[in-house]
Amino acid sequence: MKKPTIFITRKIPTKLLEPYSDLFDFKMWKKEDEPVPREVLEDEVKQVDGLLCVLSDQVDQSLLNQSNQLKIVANMAVGFDNIDIDYAKKMGVVVTNTPDVLSESTADLGFALMMATARRLNEAAQYIKNGQWKNWAPFLLAGTDIHHKTLGIVGMGRIGEAIARRAKGFGMNVLYHNRNRKREAEVKLQASYVQMEELLSQSDFVISVVPFTKETNKLFNKEAFEKMKESAVFVNISRGAVVDENALYYALKSGEIKAAGLDVFEQEPIKSDHPLLELENVVCLPHIGSATVQTRTEMIELCLKNIATVLEEKAPLTPVN
């Protein structure tokens, strides 16, 4: 009997596939750091039972229509806005994601980005590399304190809660806004639920951890940045499209807010001439929120477990639809 075939859209360590070698035939795109061309993906999806993809792969109606026997799309991410969930369900294709396993690592990165931005670490490192450090001065590269300041978390999911736990170690006052109030988190984390306007106006740091939806599209726009303190630091580790980047650029350039730390962008990868890269008060990272060896390995393993359970006609571990 022919084994089911799985196509993997990025090159991953083959040792992770070994536990499933008796169950499945694997086909894999040959490059880790380059996306599979659309025409290759369309050709491969015609003949596979499972697809292990990443966030930049568009699994839309057009692609799904190319499939003949596809049963599962395992997305190596928490978010799934790259997949037409409703159409997949209509076609009987299960979609899964990788929650939980990346929450702590992403929270680490979010907090590190907040600290690097507030304390101007990129600028300071470049200052030395440029040979500019000649003398000590009282306010040389002086940044912003983090301890005992107010942190506003927009989106109190698993990652938001993990960030709140870290904030308490710095003696921070934690505010949050979420679609649904989470009273258990308020007790556990000593976090205060507030409306969005109050969060923006009261927070010294605002961090976005919301999923991308119609409601959160351009959530951080001109009006939102106008409500923030001039001393505020904005951090985005959620999705690039929740921010109006033109409005953010203006807010940073004009001094409407102090600084920004960004791990995600509207269009990824961003080009080297992106306006935000011109600004010294911005720290930009290439979408590395969950990028630790341990976490990325666990994400792949969870994708493979989901594929195995679905193709064995069992319930998936982390279904989206």
Catalytic residues: 239, 268, 287
| DSSP designation for 212 | P
Residues 6+ apart with CB under 8 A from 315: 309
Instruction: Report yes or no: 75 and 53 within 8 Å, Cβ to Cβ.
Output: yes
Distance, CA of 117 to CA of 259 (rounded, Å): 7
Instruction: Report yes or no: 157 and 176 within 8 Å, Cβ to Cβ.
Output: no
Both tokens of 301, joined, read 């393993």
Distance, CA of 150 to CA of 243 (rounded, Å): 21
Instruction: Report yes or no: 64 and 88 within 8 Å, Cβ to Cβ.
Output: yes
| DSSP designation for 125 | H
- Output helix, strand, coil percentages for the chain, rounded to the nearest 5: 35, 15, 45
Compute CA 288 distance to the chain's CA centroid, rounded to the nearest angstrom: 8
Q: Residue 187 in 3-state DSSP? A: helix
Distance, CA of 243 to CA of 289 (rounded, Å): 17
Q: Residue 243 in 3-state DSSP? A: strand
Instruction: Report yes or no: 147 and 169 within 8 Å, Cβ to Cβ.
Output: no
Q: Residue 104 in 3-state DSSP? A: helix
Strand partners, 75: 53
Residues 6+ apart with CB under 8 A from 40: 29
